[in-house]
Structure 1
Amino acid sequence: MSPFGRALADGDRLEVAGAVVTLKVNRRARRVSLRLDRTGRQIVATAPSPRRLPEAAAFARERAGWIAERMAELPDRSPAQPGMTLQVFGEPVRLESGAGRARWIEASGEEPHRITAMGEGEGYARAVILQIRKRALAVLTARTAHYAARLGAPMPKVAITDTRSRWGSCRPGPNGTAGSIRYSWRLALAPFEVADYVAAHECAHLLELNHGPRFWAHVKALVGDERRYRAWLRAEGARLHAFGR
């Protein structure tokens, strides 16, 4: 019997071995399967059709041991706290306690960049993340302008989000007008060249809203071989999503 008192539906969530298991329907799938979503810190149980969602839920419960092992592989959560040193676009940034409004203080001499904020716990973390988001918006807006110009595309509107599902998304404007690009602020925690690749990737979508050969030709013309950047995000993405939680 479904724990929801109704038929299971795409997107329903269960708890197995202390982990969140999200049920998904993928009509291209040939069988029921489980996978670890590292950035979302959850397990995804996929079924080929809605009627097989109960089978997917049962399969997840049967594989409770496997689920526990996969979740144990995830990096520990890393809450923002004074004394911590982060890498923001590849440069060290020290977190400090301070009175008044949160501030980003530029590096000077032997001192690294610093973020000062008051409070503690979640309040402190929110203030720190706001400063990182502002930095992300400034840097990624500049890189977007750079790549849009190289591609001969109108400068899109840039926004910063906290999505877990993707590092960036692009919506081209109609008839060659300026579109919009949204980036995850967590790209600021990646090396500059990795975040820069994502900016190039999203700008290439201003011309090609697909991942076909012409799209990848644009990306390679902007940043060269992109595979190392994609590999870095696959390997380290979960660590970026563990920060501040």
Structure 2
Amino acid sequence: MTETELVPLRRDPLLPASPCPVLWRRSARARRVSLRVDPVAGAAVVTLPRRASRAHGLRLLEEHAAWVLRQLDGLTPALELRDGATVPIGGVPHVIRHAPERTGGAFLEDGILFVTGAAEFLPRRTERFLRAEALRRIGVAAMRYAGQLGLRPKAIRLKDTRTRWGSCAPDRTLSFTWRLVMAPDWVLDYVVAHEVAHLREMNHSDRFWAVCEALTPHRAEATAWLKRHGPALMRVG
């Protein structure tokens, strides 16, 4: 069960209540009521054990209302793919410009992402361009790193996962979120190298990390960047 609800919360008894988006989840594995803020969904998440009532979750929400609202206030606003918006590509900001008089779908020119066609198609065409660019960049990096190991992935696929940047399946298929295209090139390179290293070591053993660090020197910096800026990329679109 996953339900969404707006719950009025007060950060201070003397202040009016603020509407707070809350995702309610029930889990057979949960042992207690838990509360967290999901930076991607932009909502508080209350997880209830199988037999716990929603009243228990509301009580926890109200007890921590100030913290929840403070966390939500600090989130990066969601970015809509629209005319005039600025979207990063390779970590470099690019303004989206609707160009109905031109042809070619979507393309980069002088640091601007031009999107042709009717206005209602702009978000879809922009995302389609970003996906294609992500596949191109990821594919180049993956084949380069796999070549260094004398290996070859079965396939390279794009997904729209909101919790994982990449994965390597047992059949040697590499999967990545297309949102990596918005990260700096060296961050994308690290994620790709990480997953390619799994072609050699399907684990996170010392041997795996040795392979990973032989492919890329950016592990510490890239993981820190993703922890700090990754949630904002997940809120694009």
What TM-score do the two structures reach when normalised by structure 2? 0.80
- The offset of 1:227, in angstroms, is 1.6
CA 183–60 in structure 1, closer or farther in 2 if over 3 Å, else same: same
Gaps of 5+ in 1: 1-8, 174-178
Cα pair 2:3 2:25 within 8 Å, conserved:
yes
Is it true that 1:119 corresponds to 2:118 in the alignment?
yes
- Unaligned stretches of 5+ in structure 2? 8-18
The answer on 1:170 being equivalent to 2:163 is: no
Shift in Å, 1:119: 3.0
The offset of 1:15, in angstroms, is: 4.3
- Is 1:73 the equivalent of 2:71? no
Matching residue of 1:222: 215
How many residues end up aligned between the 2 structures?
A: 223
For residues 68 and 91 of structure 1, what CA distance do their matches in structure 2 show? 31
- The offset of 1:183, in angstroms, is 1.1
Instruction: Say if 1:197 and 1:223, in contact at 8 Å, map to a contact too.
Output: yes
User: Deviation of residue 112 (structure 1)?
Assistant: 2.2
| Bigger Cα displacement from structure 2, 76-85 vs 17-26 | 17-26
| Structure 2 residue 136 is the aligned partner of structure 1 residue 138 | yes
1:232 corresponds to which of 211, 225, 229: 225
The equivalences for 1:142-221 within 5 A come to: 142-173=140-171, 179-221=172-214
Check whether the contact 1:13–1:23 (CA below 8 A) recurs between aligned residues. no
Contact 1:22 1:42 in 2 (8 A): no
- Equivalent residue, structure 1, for 2:10: none
Which position in structure 1 is the counterpart of 2:20? 18
Deviates more, 1:144-153 or 1:131-140: 144-153
TM-score (norm 1): 0.78
Q: Distance in 2 between matches of 1:63 and 1:218?
A: 44
Q: Which residue of 2 aligns with 1:64?
A: 65
20 and 117 in structure 1: CA distance in 2 versus 1, 3 angstrom threshold: farther
Q: Is the 8 A contact 2:20 2:44 kept in 1?
A: no
